[in-house]
Amino acid sequence: MTTPLPLFRLDGRVALVTGGSRGIGRAISETLAAAGAEVFVNYARGEAAAKETCEAIRAAGGKAEAVCFDVADTKATEAAIDAIAKQKGRLDIAVSNAGISIDQLLIRLKDDDLEKLFAVNLRGALAVARASIKPMMRARFGRIVFVSSVVGEMGNPGQTAYAATKAALLGVTKSIAKEYASRQVTVNAITPGYIETDMTAGLPEAAKKAMLEGTPLGRPGTPADVAAAVLYLASEQAGFVTGQTLRVNGGMYV
Ligand code: NAP
């Protein structure tokens, strides 16, 4: 009989969470740190939120450090990730969570907005993966998790451009998973449904009601719901899971 490992512990692991300062990313940072990982909490503009998240992690006995870079700036992103890997001698877990939404009907969609969405949600995610994979390949261990969206799977009126970026991440996940499986790096995506964060707070009440009605579990998701799925995918126990999409959507899309 094999002795089971302690469930979902990340002691000794070094993790990066992009957009780790607020919303879903903050819950991911806190959850990975509570499991024992040292977490680099990335942010682009909100330094105060990033500091607050790191302080909360430290107050709970965890290890965290804020790191500022805009994922749309691929050179800065790759330099920051290289620096983390050099400083720590490793990078075990990279969670590409930073994302923006710009909602517009197709006929009003501006090229500039389309480009902004792709720069952050797709090119930024690729830059994170490209830089993270190097120390992971050397270590013959790695966990990459992309935060995509249910919208990338089922579409949504007014979110054509956002859906394009999030659907693209699912193809990216499968390709990178196949490319680096031989190095024991796993690559998976999470597709959250309607989660209560700053991103969804400003939506019209009618839109929130429609999303709730489309959620069989009858409640909005919480950042902690998503963070628990990330913790699983980042753990030893998920070592045979790669190229997959884990849906955390309350049944909205099955
Ligand atoms: P949020 O509350 O708006 O938080 C966004 C986070 O991303 C912040 O930490 C923000 O940091 C960071 N960020 C934004 N642009 C960045 C950039 N260019 N470079 C680095 N960091 C950047 O969003 P959320 O709701 O937590 O969403 C997190 C992820 O989940 C996104 O990818 C989103 O598309 C996805 N998602 C959300 C939902 C939902 O219902 N909320 C559903 C499905 C998928 P700063 O404050 O410093 O800019």
CA 97–ligand 1 middle distance (angstroms): 6
Residues involved in catalysis: 162
Task: List residues bridging with 142 in a β-sheet.
Answer: 185
pTM check: above 0.95: yes
24: left (phi over 0), alpha (psi -120 to 50) or beta: alpha
99 close to ligand 1 (CB < 6 Angstrom): yes
Contact indicator for 6, 36 with CB cutoff of 8 Å: no
- 250 has pLDDT over 90: yes
pLDDT digits (tens, 9 = 90+) for 128-143: 999 999 999 999 999 9
Largest CA distance in the chain: 62
CA 186–ligand 1 middle distance (angstroms): 23
Angle between helices 23-34 and 47-59 (to 10 degrees): 30
Any idea which residue has 């196949």 for tokens? 178
160 close to ligand 1 (CB < 6 Angstrom): no
CA 100–ligand 1 middle distance (angstroms): 6
7 vs 167 pLDDT, higher one: 167
pLDDT recorded at residue 197: 97
67 close to ligand 1 (CB < 6 Angstrom): no
192: left (phi over 0), alpha (psi -120 to 50) or beta: beta
Which H or E element spans position 176? helix 160-180
Question: pLDDT band at 5, cuts 50/70/90?
Answer: confident
Query: Edge to edge, what strands does the sheet with 245-248 contain?
Result: 63-68, 38-43, 14-17, 93-96, 142-147, 185-192, 245-248
Mutate to test the pocket of ligand 1, among 43, 116, 169 (most ligand atoms within 8 A of CB): 43
The candidate with the shortest Cα–Cα distance to 16, out of 101, 170, 125, is: 125
pLDDT digits (tens, 9 = 90+) for 61-85: 999 999 999 999 999 999 999 999 9
